């Protein structure tokens, strides 16, 4: 308590920051279960459906290019609040959308919201964690993402299948969640002693000298993880319905939630792994997952599709956690927001491009062909990422000391 202003303590602020991380994935995944409904209601092509997903990472990239390091200047709290406000507008537009144009505009605001809050919330989780707990912060961030994805698929699937207003109620609930997170984030500490000096101006986020190879390995890992997520979020519901043969939205959502549950469980169980080992093992799991995906589509097998989701969840979790762990360990606090934004910028750029490409291929040559080519690309990317992690030379950690007041944002 400062004067008449309520300010959250370090532990509460840590969990609020984790909730903001969870919101970024829930907001991203919330429309996934409604894609087939939109396609049927508005007679959309697969390309148009994939565009709903792809607009989001493309806008995120634009925000990161212009505002990627803004939280290093104006503080994590202010930037996260702006992001949450934009997410609220985007979800509201989805909740009342009368046609595809409203959905596209809503997706743009979702991209603005996540672009503003993804880097700062990840940095805040690190900075509010206990001293020397970089690996735990990476694991909690991974679990927060898994929680957001699981809630999006399970709750979304249940509301769409059994509740009234299947294309709206899901988003009305998310509006309430974002409102609660916004209120909690309002009471985060207002100042950050580690912010950059000088006046902020729009510019591409930068990385500190000497961290080039570290950022390369971390970015490759997160890009691989997000590429796996692209297949699940942009085409997952369509795969379950068209190729696996399930028409029940809750069943499809529960099936897709297996990915999120495994993602979170692996994040907790494997938090003791070194970042490099996590990336290497995650790359191998991703390769196995893609092979199972191709087989499940070819045989129209829900069981093999579940095995794919489990292997892919392991791969995503380890790749993301390992990449984030490298940044947590080596990036200096005053440049951490910009460094994380650089990582997310590349990841979302690849995610958006891949979603558009897979949608176009599915429209012209069929969903099965799109899955085959997408799986091949992800296999190559995952193997390259594992090789980079295996042979990269990283500097000695120089930024592991938590200074008094560093947790204040």
pLDDT on residue 195: 52
Tokens 């249940």 belong to residue: 158
Mean pLDDT of the region 184-212: 67
Q: How many CA atoms lie within 13 A of 327 on its CB side?
A: 33
Determine the distance from the C-alpha atom of residue 166 to the mean position of all C-alpha atoms in its chain, rounded to a whole number. 24
CA 378 from chain centre, in angstroms, equals 17
Q: How far is CA 159 from CA 103, 257, 380, 409, in A?
A: 19, 15, 37, 37
> What is the pLDDT, as a whole number, of residue 300?
78
Q: What tens digit of pLDDT does each residue of 394-403 get?
A: 555 544 434 3
Contact (Cβ atoms closer than 8 angstroms) between residue 277 and residue 242:
no
pLDDT tens for each residue of 135-159? 678 788 888 988 888 888 888 888 8
> Of 195-199, 238-242, 287-291, 358-362, where does the model show the most confidence?
287-291
Which residues have a Cβ under 8 Å from the Cβ of 240 and sit 6 or more positions away?
246, 251, 252, 255, 256, 302, 305
Regarding the domain with residue range 10-192+209-391, which homologous superfamily does it belong to in the CATH classification? Answer: MFS general substrate transporter like domains (1.20.1250.20)
Is residue 371 within 8 A of residue 293, CB to CB? The reply is yes
60-89 burial string, b = 16+ CB within 10 Å, else e?
Answer: bbbbbbebbbbbbbbbbbbbbbbbbbbbbb
Of all residues in the chain, the percent with pLDDT exceeding 90 is 27
- Specify whether the CB–CB gap between 307 and 315 falls below 8 A: no
Residue 2 · residue 88 · CB < 8 Å? no
Distance CA 377, CA 262 (A): 23
pLDDT of residue 1: 45
DSSP bridge partners of 2: 5
Q: Cβ(401)–Cβ(299) under 8 Å? A: no
Instruction: Report the pLDDT value the prediction gives residue 40, as an integer from 0 to 100.
Output: 83
> pLDDT-based confidence at 198, cuts 50/70/90?
low
Q: What angle do CA 120, 121, 127 make, to 5 degrees?
A: 85
SS3 sequence, the chain?
CECCECCCCHHHHHHHHHHHHHHHHHHHHHHHHHHHHHHHHHCCCHHHHHHHHHHHHHHHHHHHHHHCCCHHHHCHHHHHHHHHHHHHHHHHHHHHCCCHHHHHHHHHHHHHHHHHHHHHHHHHHHHHCCCCCHHHHHHHHHHHHHHHHHHHHHHHHHHHHHCCCCCCHHHHHHHHHHHHHHHHHHCCCCCCCCCCCCCCCCCCCCCCCCCHHHHHHHHHHHHHHHHHHHHHHHHHHHHHHHHCCCCCHHHHHHHHHHHHHHHHHHHHHCCCCCHHHHHHHHHHHHHHHHHHHHHHHHHCCHHHHHHHHHHHHHHHHHHHHHHHHHHHHHCCHHHHHHHHHHHHHHHHHHHHHHHHHHHHHHHHHCHHHHHHHHHHHHHHHHHHHHHHHHHCCCCCCCCCCCCCCCCCC
Please tell me which residue, 129 or 386, carries the higher pLDDT value: 386
Q: Compute the distance between CA of residue 56 and CA of residue 37 in angstroms, rounded to an integer.
A: 19
CB 25 within 8 A of CB 148: yes
Q: For residue 5, what are the β-bridge partners?
A: 2
Q: Are 145 and 25 in contact (CB under 8 A)?
A: yes
368-399 as b/e: b if 16+ CB within 10 A: bebbbebbebbbebbeebbebbeebeeeeeeb
pLDDT at 110: 94
The span from the CA of 257 to the CA of 254, in Å, is: 5
Higher pLDDT, 86 or 399: 86
User: Which stretch, 28-42, 46-60, 74-88, 390-404, has highest mean pLDDT?
Assistant: 74-88
Can you give the pTM of this predicted structure?
0.76
Q: Tokens 């990036």 correspond to what residue? A: 331
Residue 209 confidence (pLDDT) above 50: yes
What is the average pLDDT value for the chain, to the nearest integer?
81
Check residues 203 and 272 and name the one with the higher pLDDT: 272
Instruction: Give the model's confidence band at 132: pLDDT under 50 very low, under 70 low, under 90 confident, else very high.
Output: low
> What are the structural domain ranges in the chain?
10-192+209-391
């Amino acid at each position: 308590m400062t004067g008449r202003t309520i300010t959250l303590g370090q532990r509460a602020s840590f969990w609020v920051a984790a909730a903001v991380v969870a919101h970024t994935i829930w907001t991203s995944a919330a429309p996934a279960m409604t894609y087939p409904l939109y396609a049927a209601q508005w007679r959309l092509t697969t390309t148009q459906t994939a565009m709903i997903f792809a607009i989001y990472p493309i806008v995120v990239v634009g925000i990161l290019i212009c505002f990627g390091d803004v939280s290093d200047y104006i503080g994590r709290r202010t930037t996260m609040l702006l992001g949450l406000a934009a997410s609220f507008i985007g979800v509201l537009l989805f909740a009342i959308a009368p046609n595809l144009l409203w959905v596209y505009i809503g997706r743009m605001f979702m991209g603005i919201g996540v672009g503003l809050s993804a880097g700062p919330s990840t940095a805040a989780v690190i900075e509010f964690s206990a001293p020397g707990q970089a690996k735990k912060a990476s694991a909690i961030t991974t679990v927060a993402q898994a929680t957001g994805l699981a809630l999006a698929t399970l709750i979304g699937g249940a509301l769409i299948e059994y509740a009234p207003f299947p294309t709206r109620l899901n988003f009305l609930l998310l509006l309430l969640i974002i409102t609660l997170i916004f209120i909690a984030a309002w009471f985060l500490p207002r100042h950050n002693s580690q912010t950059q000096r000088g006046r902020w101006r729009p510019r591409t986020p930068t990385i500190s000298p000497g961290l080039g190879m570290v950022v390369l390995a971390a970015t490759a890992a997160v890009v691989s993880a997000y590429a796996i997520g692209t297949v699940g979020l942009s085409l997952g519901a369509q795969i379950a319905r068209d190729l696996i043969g399930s028409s029940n939205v809750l069943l499809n959502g529960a099936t897709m939630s297996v990915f999120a549950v495994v993602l979170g469980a692996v994040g907790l169980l494997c938090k003791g792994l070194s970042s490099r080992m996590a990336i290497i093992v995650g790359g191998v799991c991703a390769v196995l997952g893609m092979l199972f995906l191709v087989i499940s589509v070819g045989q129209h097998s829900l069981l093999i599709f579940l095995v794919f989701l489990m292997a892919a969840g392991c791969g995503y979790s380890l790749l993301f956690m390992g990449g984030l762990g490298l940044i947590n360990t080596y990036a200096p606090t005053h440049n951490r927001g910009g460094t994380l934004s650089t990582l997310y910028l590349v990841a979302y750029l690849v995610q958006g491009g891949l979603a558009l490409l897979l949608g176009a291929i599915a429209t012209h040559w069929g969903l099965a062909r799109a899955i085959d080519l997408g799986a091949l690309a992800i296999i190559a990317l995952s193997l390259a990422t594992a090789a980079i992690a295996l042979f990269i030379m990283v500097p000695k950690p120089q930024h592991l000391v938590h200074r008094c007041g560093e947790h204040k944002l």
